Amino acid sequence: MRSPKSVVVTGSNRGLGFGLIQQFLKDPNVEIVIATSRDIEKATALKSISDPRLHILQLSLGCDESINSFAQKVSEIVGDTGLTLLINNAAVMLPYVTKQEPDRKIVNDLFESNTIGPMILTQKLIPLIIKSSKSEEGSTLSVSRGAIINIASEFLGSISENTSGSGEYKAMAYRMTKCAVNQFTKTLSIDLREDYVLSAGICPGKVQTDMSKGKGEFTIEEASAQLIETFKKLDERHNGGYFRKDLSVIPY
């Protein structure tokens, strides 16, 4: 149950991402915490934190130049020990329903932010994560060795548990983007197993964020604290899986 030495959390200027940054900074064993925001100007909460371990970097998942520049900066910050943990948390929710006039731009934006951008970012950071994982001996997997965690959505990502369709959140396209990420997680877990990198999708539950319009069961602080305890429990058994934060399995 060791802590990651370094961590990147995307979309961390507010909501759950910001909560995760706060929690990681409470852990003295975490040496480097990298927060990202599309617009650093607006990341006032992050900028009010005074901790030399915190690095705030601009990142737009829709832009290759931004991703490349970000990956370069992360490489410089983490140095020879590599990056221990990437948390793909950034996502957007835009309403889109079956029975509407199609709008390709909305759908493209959702896939870009929630699926394609995180995939490209992950690919760019994989060499740094492998560098961290390869610095340990043995074949164990853990978030303190080298890991990719995709923040998932049980309620909107699971196909089996989809009983409301477009539903209250008008989440037709959003559901598709999050389900594709589950397939991404599974693929990563197989392709990176030889490098001792762990991949998992973890659902935070219903959190009181802007995205859920405040209708959550947990505060951001509660959810982030619980999530970090969950991350530390991840091992071989969880590689490639889709879990609630109590590590019970969510059906795809």
Binding site for a copy of itself (CB under 8 A): 64, 67, 97-102, 104, 107-108, 111, 115-116, 119-120, 123-124, 126, 159-160, 162-166, 172-173, 175-177, 179-184, 186-192, 242, 251-252
CB of 229 to a copy of itself, least distance (A): 26
Give 14 or 175: the residue with its C-beta nearer to a copy of itself.
175
Q: For residue 184, give Cα distances in angstroms to 32, 168, 188.
A: 26, 26, 6
CB of 149 to a copy of itself, least distance (A): 16
- Pairwise CA distance, residues 144 & 30, whole Å: 10
The torsion angle over the Cα atoms of residues 47, 128, 202 and 229, rounded to 10 degrees, is: -70
- Pairwise CA distance, residues 62 & 226, whole Å: 30
CB of 220 to a copy of itself, least distance (A): 27
Give 22 or 132: the residue with its C-beta nearer to a copy of itself.
132
CB of 205 to a copy of itself, least distance (A): 20
- Pairwise CA distance, residues 215 & 225, whole Å: 19
CB of 169 to a copy of itself, least distance (A): 12
Give 77 or 180: the residue with its C-beta nearer to a copy of itself.
180
Give 167 or 232: the residue with its C-beta nearer to a copy of itself.
167
CB of 102 to a copy of itself, least distance (A): 4
Give 24 or 70: the residue with its C-beta nearer to a copy of itself.
70
Give 46 or 91: the residue with its C-beta nearer to a copy of itself.
91
Q: Which two tokens stand for residue 88?
A: 């793909």
Q: For residue 86, give Cα distances in angstroms to 38, 48, 76, 190, 212.
A: 17, 23, 16, 17, 24
Q: Which two tokens stand for residue 174?
A: 């959003």
Residue 104's contacts (CB-CB under 8 Å, 6 or more residues apart) are none
Query: Would you say 250 and 154 are in contact if contact means Cβ atoms under 8 Å apart?
Result: yes
